[in-house]
Structure 1
Amino acid sequence: MAQRYPVNLERQSLFGHSFGGLFALYALYERPQAFEAIVAASPSMEWNGQHILEEERVFRDKVQAGKVGATSRLMVVVATATRWRSGIGPHAGRAAGSALRWGLRVRLQRYPNEVHASVPAQAANDTLRFAFTLR
């Protein structure tokens, strides 16, 4: 992208939905300074036996020990119209709440009339507003 278009390397954002949302959380936990804003939409946190919760715990420990400096802003997006046996909504909401307690800049966006598949379209405007808001 940067070879074709002017890119502000200080203001890059990442959006992911479902498994992409899971990857967005992973990116936050592994490389918290890689993106200025991260949006995890309906992250599939139940995948792989909820291993992402272990990644979250390791990240939390680093944050609490002061080993993580300036980090990305995080927006977690969940649809609440469908009751998920997998727990996508509850786990994602918990992830946002945990990050907020650690002092990270977090926004939890719930869409009560949406389902997992309709979240990306619904979240488009909110994602752009979140990504382009100055720190």
Structure 2
Amino acid sequence: MKILKLLSFMLITLLVLNCSNDDDNFQPQIQPEPTTQDLLISGKWYWISSSESTLDDCQKQSYLEFIDLDTLLIENFRINSSDVCESNGINSVTYQLIDDSIIQVTIGTDTSNLNIEFISDTRLIITQEISSGTMTTLLEK
């Protein structure tokens, strides 16, 4: 019986001595905030509303998809003459993010600037100067 007690004591002592104190210094990994570029390329941004017009359910299927650091896909949906919602096709254009606040879009030889007013994981608000003033567009994932 003494041998069993001695072995038990030695086993417990060995376990206690071998436990690491790494857990005492545990520091959670702090995730860096995503950059504007990270947020842009994280999925499709669907049109929700525009200050220039009321969007119907068909138009709300339209989206922007930032594929990489310079490619932007744009797909617009409209109701055709037969009252059917259809895509106008997917257009691939180039863009450049300037100072994390301006998306410079180039379509052919035309360039326009979209000002990022707000961006989060799920919401993007952009403004654009047009002939009648400033158009504000809300997009969401």
* TM-score with structure 1 setting the length: 0.22
For the pair shown, the structure with the greater C-alpha radius of gyration is 2
* TM-score with structure 2 setting the length: 0.21
**Structure in which a larger fraction of residues adopt helix:** 1
**Structure in which a larger fraction of residues adopt strand:** 2
